[in-house]
Amino acid sequence: MPLIKDGAFVEDRFTYVEDDAPLPEGAVIVSFTRWQDEKDALIARGTPLGVKLLSGEEPAPLKGDLDKFDVIALDFPMFKNGRAYSYARLLRSRYGYKGEVRATGDVLRDQLFFMARCGFDAFEVSQRITLDAFKEALGEMSVVYQPASDGRKTVLEARHGG
């Protein structure tokens, strides 16, 4: 899938590795299960590392190891499952994660704005999402009503001089 990061399509330097597959050279993204099972060996490789959390896998168990990950991929299994929004916000706001937070799975154009507000900074998108559509999605709302990880003032804060 094409990857958008920093407002541009970029080559994905990471390889997703199935739990039973051998680890290739270079940067890899492994499942949470594989991370738990092979943590020491994965760290010892000394190569860029990522972990993918499925919809029901909360980020709290990773909080002591966040400095080990270059990327945390959060899965959207279907458009109406929004747990990954909360997980991204927790990673950024509560746990202070500074690395890449990547949206994977059913990443829709209409959700990109809020994904970015919640802390996602990389997006695996379908072929039908163009860079122009991505930029348009991120800029189509000028005011926000809810606080999020992006630090934008809400309408209420702006109204009351906050």
Q: Give the position of tokens 């072929």.
A: 127
Of 11-15, 17-21, 78-82, 144-148, the poorest mean pLDDT is in 144-148
Say if CB 12 and CB 70 are below 8 A apart: no
C-alpha–C-alpha distance, residues 142 and 61, integer Å:
36
pLDDT value at position 162? 62
pLDDT value at position 101? 98
C-alpha–C-alpha distance, residues 45 and 137, integer Å:
38
pLDDT tens-digit profile of 25-83?
Answer: 999 999 999 999 999 999 999 999 999 999 999 999 999 999 999 999 999 988 778 89
Say if CB 114 and CB 146 are below 8 A apart: no
Say if pTM beats, i.e. exceeds, 0.85: yes
CATH number for the domain harbouring residue 80: 3.20.20.70
Q: How many independent structural domains does the chain possess?
A: 1
Structural domain containing residue 64 = 3-160
pLDDT value at position 113? 94
Say if CB 151 and CB 127 are below 8 A apart: no
Of 17-26, 88-97, 137-146, the poorest mean pLDDT is in 137-146
What does the pLDDT average to over 107-120? 93
C-alpha–C-alpha distance, residues 108 and 95, integer Å:
26
Long-range contacts at 124-127 (CB < 8 A, ≥ 24 apart) = 124/1, 124/2, 124/3, 124/12, 124/73, 125/1, 125/2, 125/3, 125/4, 126/1, 126/2, 127/2
